Chain A
Amino acid sequence: MSMGDLKQQTKPAGTGIGDVVRAVGRTSWPYLLLLPTVALLFAFTLYPLAQGLWMSLFRRGLVVVPQIPESTPVFVGLDNYLQLIGDKDFTVALIRTVVFVIIAVPIQLAAALGLALLLAPQSRFNAIIRTIVFFPSMISGLIIGVIWAWLFARNSGLVNYALSLINIPAVPWLEQDQMAQIAVVVAWVWGSAGFNMMILIAGLTAIPKDLYEAAAIDGTSRWRTFTRITLPLLEPSIVVVVVLGVIGAFQVYEIIVSLTTGGPGRATVFLIQNIYETAFKKPNQAGVAAAQSGVLFVILMLLTIVQLRVARRRS
């Protein structure tokens, strides 16, 4: 695929469909490219999302039924947001989630990077290992939780059984407050490592081989090669992993449901679980749940913008 091929395939200016498009102008081309994505997103995600955020200005349940006059939403303005300040359940869940993000995302990145560097080289063996590492992405969150719960079950789990064979008493991996937090981090990193590894591998394969050859000829150390060539050129992919990681970590839920159900007690109730419980379990609080989602939205939007700015400045 060289420039020469392209030259021969291009028609001379003045004939063909290409001219029509060019005539319309390069200005409209990006909009056309974006149209399908934005249209579909709008219909199925953004429009309902806007409705959801709109709900946050009312006191209401999830469903408004004309036959039930009490279900009519009552406008309360920013009341739902202001009430969140004193809402202990919400603030505890929020703080717990923030701590989780701060701890888990860097670990996630390190793990994915390590795996990518290890498994990027082409070989059939590596392809199979990569698939095994990617395995958690192929299964539902429920099964992931079930598997980890089976491994770490206090009384029936494989790990404690193995420990019992060497006379170590059962460890409450999931039933003790701090250990449960660790279990969530481990399960989450394990569950998304494969996905992030694949993103980084795609980025690694884009780095031209001759750069490495040149560095080898120069006698550059492995570490220097890594920090001066690999990392900078890998940055766009790293940005994906971190940005998506932050967004995903803030919304961790499915894996927790099957791993600890928010327990022990309520020690692993994170932000999303709190939102769902407010919306589905408490009467007439859908507006409050929407306000909590609104807060989450603002946090994520700000964080994403900041991260993208930082990335842009560095490149």
Chain B
Amino acid sequence: MTPTRSFGRIAATALVLVVFILPPLWLLASALKPQAEIFQWPPTLWPEHFTFENFEKTMSRANFGLYFLNSAIVSVTSACLSVAMSVMAGYALSKFRFKGDTLFFLLIMSALMVPLQIVLIPVFLVLRDLGLLNTLWGLIIAPAATPTGVFLMRQYITGIPDHLIEAARIEGTPEWRILLRIIVPLALPAIGTLLAFNLVWRWNDYLWPFLIVTKQEQWTVQLAIANSIGRFSINWPRLLSMTVLSILPMFVMFVALQKTLMNGLMAGATKE
């Protein structure tokens, strides 16, 4: 679709911007206010007493950089693992007819259909038995299989014309090559999107760190944020400033990812 600079389009975009920018703006602005001002009345959107003290306090807290590092390691590794597995599984489910294909698909989807919270104990015991407690590997592997990712890739790869694959098979191309050289490049928009999703999902994971990690050295950012919520009060300055800092890398990553993969697509591949 060629972008048209119609008035309607600009107006609509402006409306979207207003509706969606207010909350992040509030978050950022509140993180820049001193504690007393955050919930004062009348409320202020932009800080009256602009201050960086919340951020300073948060960043000077011992181990702060470590939490970020842990989160980064876990998110990137798990996301890559996850996307690879989703592409493979999605490809299998969309382009092959084999015994049990529907069953496997429904099995994978069924993982989304029951609230995990009431089976936390069995999950914990599995983690213990596999020796994954108190390890970063536990945080990487346990959530790596994502039914949503599989579903997404399955749907997207369905749209890749069969004849491309058939032709390659007739040529004698090995299966793994077909996957790597035909499917993956054509599925790049979905892969990029899924990579972004996974990075965000793993970065925001709270369940797995809660179950797996007890040592503060292995805390992720989410655990640190959750511990801003005390028994009787919420440490808003810490919660807000840490959330803002937590979002920044995701924000940057997201914008960058869109440009690179969209450009990659525009550069060449057309489907015929």
Are chains A and B touching directly in their complex (CB below 8 angstroms)? yes
Known A41-B145, A130-B258, A131-B254: A49·B114 in contact at CB below 8 Å: yes
B155–A31 contact, CB under 8 A?
no
- Residues facing B in A1-36 (CB within 8 A) are 1, 3, 6-7, 9-13, 16-19, 21-22, 26-27, 29-31, 33-34, 36
Q: What residues of B have a CB within 8 angstroms of the CB of A150 in the complex?
A: 26, 39, 43
Q: Which listed segment binds A: B57-65, B66-74, B83-91? A: B83-91
A188 to B98 CA separation, bound complex (whole angstroms):
38
Name the B residues within 8 Å of A136 (CB-CB): 23
Chain B 21-40, CB-CB to A under 8 Å as 1, else 0, gives 11110110000000000010
- Tell me if B113 and A297 are in contact (CB < 8 A): yes
Interface residues of A in 174-212 (CB under 8 A from B): 190, 194-195, 198-199, 201-206, 208-210, 212
In the complex, chain B residues whose CB is within 8 Å of the CB of A63: 121
Asked if A221 lies at the interface with its beta carbon under 8 angstroms from chain B, I say no
B156 touches A236 (CB 8 A): yes
Annotate B102-134 by CB proximity to A: 1 below 8 A, 0 otherwise. 001011111111111111011100110010000
Contact of B42 among A144, A161, A237 (CB under 8 A): A161
Choose one: B111, B243, B268, B269; the contact of A49 (CB below 8 Å).
B111
Residue B219 lies at the interface, judged by CB distance under 8 Å to chain A: no
Q: Which residue, of B123, B174, B225, B269, has the highest number of chain A Cβ atoms within 10 A?
A: B174
Of B23, B143, B258, the residue contacting A131 (CB under 8 A) is B258
Q: In the bound complex, do residue A297 and residue B110 qualify as a contact, i.e. CB atoms below 8 Å apart?
A: yes
Shortest C-beta distance, A290 to chain B (Å), equals 7
B144 within 8 A of A: yes
Q: How far is the CA of A293 from the CA of B93 in the complex (A)?
A: 27
| Minimum distance in angstroms from A112 CB to a CB of chain B | 12
Please measure, in the bound complex, the distance between the C-alpha atom of A31 and the C-alpha atom of B100, giving whole angstroms.
Answer: 10
Mask of B222-240 contacts with A, CB within 8 angstroms, 1/0: 1001000100000000000
Q: Name the residue of chain A whose CB is nearest to the CB of B41.
A: A156
User: Do A138 and B251 touch across chains, with their CB atoms under 8 A apart?
Assistant: yes
CA distance A15 to B12 in the complex (A): 59
B202 → chain A closest CB, angstroms: 12
- B85 contacts A139, CB within 8 Å? no
Report how many residues on chain B are interfacial, defined by Cβ distance under 8 Å.
108
Chain B residues contacting A104 (CB-CB under 8 Å) are none
| Chain B CB within 8 A of A62 CB | yes
Chain B min CB distance to A292 (Å): 9
Q: How many residues of A contact B (CB 8 A)?
A: 114
Closest approach, in angstroms, between the C-beta of B99 and any C-beta of chain A?
Answer: 9
Which residues on the A side are within 8 Å of B262 (C-beta)?
Answer: 122, 127, 205
Tell me which of B20, B24, B89, B126 has the highest count of chain A C-beta atoms within 10 A of its own C-beta. B20
Q: Once the chains are docked, how many angstroms separate the CA of A43 from the CA of B119? A: 13
Contact assessment for B204 and A240 in the assembled complex, using a CB-CB cutoff below 8 Å = no
Contact with B along A41-76 (1 / 0, CB 8 A): 101111111011101000000110000000000000
Contact, CB under 8 Å: B206 / A140 = yes
A38 to B111, CA, bound (A): 10
Option from B17, B86, B265 in Cβ contact (under 8 Å) with A205 = B265
A interface residue numbers (CB < 8 A to B): 1, 3, 6-7, 9-13, 16-19, 21-22, 26-27, 29-31, 33-34, 36-38, 40-41, 43-49, 51-53, 55, 62-63, 114-115, 117-124, 127-140, 142-144, 147-148, 150-151, 156-158, 161, 190, 194-195, 198-199, 201-206, 208-210, 212, 233, 236-237, 239-240, 243-244, 247, 251, 253, 272, 275-276, 279, 286, 289-290, 293, 296-297, 300-301, 304-305
What are 6 contact pairs spanning A and B, CB under 8 A?
Answer: A40-B144, A49-B114, A136-B23, A143-B243, A158-B43, A301-B106
